[in-house]
Amino acid sequence: MISIVAYDDAWPAQFEAEAARLVQALGELALRIEHVGSTSVPGLAAKAVIDIQISVASLDDRAAFAAALGGLDYVHVPLGDFDAVYPFFQKPADWPCTHHVHLCVGGSDEERRHLAFRDRLRRDPVLAAQYAELKRRLASTHDGDSLASRERYSLSKSDFIAAALDTAAAEADNQPPNC
């Protein structure tokens, strides 16, 4: 079952603790480690899963990432074509899990898109409330008992996310240049 819970003030500290472990495990492989997903947005209801985006120079050495993350009990969960640009790991191996790690190339569209959506939700409490309502509605129709169900839940949010990012891009285009 997919369960959406009220925001927990402990989530940022849980991210910080896990990020410290990831820095130790990955060393120089990690260029940047960011708290993303709903648990990174103060006040936003979410699945109680800490989403972590790790930016790397290249995704070519997947064995090194899998070994380093495996040492922290993460398992790679292949997600079809998406795995080529945004490999996904979860901890523990069984659902429900407590942490997700998403790898991406630093400077890539994937990196920018996830950070932009997080930042948009942080700036706009009305949008965040709309997103929380969407997630609650989707959680009631997707049981989450299988990987396919969890993927459908995630994909069902795509139009909302795309619209929020389009609005953010339009707002950025209308800003005067910094001089």
Residue 19 pLDDT > 80: yes
Alpha-carbon gap, residue 130 to 58, rounded angstroms: 35
Per-residue pLDDT band for 160 (boundaries 50, 70, 90) equals confident
Kindly tell me if the per-residue pLDDT of 133 is higher than 80.
yes
Tell me, what amino acid is at 71? G
pTM equals 0.87
Under the banding of pLDDT at 50, 70 and 90, the label for residue 9 is: very high
**Angle 158-173/125-141 helices, nearest 10 degrees?**
160
All domains in the chain, ordered by first residue: 11-170 (3.30.460.10)
Instruction: Provide the angle, in degrees to the nearest 10, between the axes of the packed helices 11-26 and 62-70.
Output: 120
Helices (DSSP H) in the chain: which residue ranges? 11-26, 62-70, 109-123, 125-141, 147-155, 158-173
Tell which residue, 13, 99, 92, has the closest CA to residue 53. Answer: 99
